[in-house]
Amino acid sequence: KAVCVTGDVPHEEREEIIDEIKHTSKNILFGTQAIFSEGISVDVLSCLILGTPINNDPLLTQLVGRVIRKREGKVQPVIVDIQLKGNTAKRQASNRIGHYMKEGYEITYI
């Protein structure tokens, strides 16, 4: 049920993968930050798992925007932001939380 898109996947194949996500039982799409920061438009996506530190508000807005797009029948979008160890990663996580608060997103700590 899962498919992967990386920079090595040709554009035509990416389009086929996106079509599969939209119209088949495949419902998990994973890939690199670069892929999701540009060139992917799949309004059925409803969960983003951030597994890399990001300290760039425009990039974060773009990544989150991939899953918060409205679509009839879509489930409530969820962003899972994994806080990594280390001072730099913690600072960046704090900045992302500030961004989420500024945007008015509901935040749940686990």
Architecture of domain 2-103: 3-Layer(aba) Sandwich (3.40)
* Tens digits of residue pLDDT in 17-39: 888 888 888 878 888 777 777 66
pLDDT computed for residue 39 by the predictor? 63
The predicted-structure confidence for 51-92, as pLDDT tens digits, reads as follows: 888 899 999 998 898 889 888 888 899 999 999 999 999 999
Where is pLDDT greater, at 77 or 41?
A: 77
Please choose, from the candidates 60, 14, 63, 15, the residue with its C-alpha nearest in 3D space to the C-alpha of residue 38.
63
On whether the pTM is more than 0.85, the answer is: no
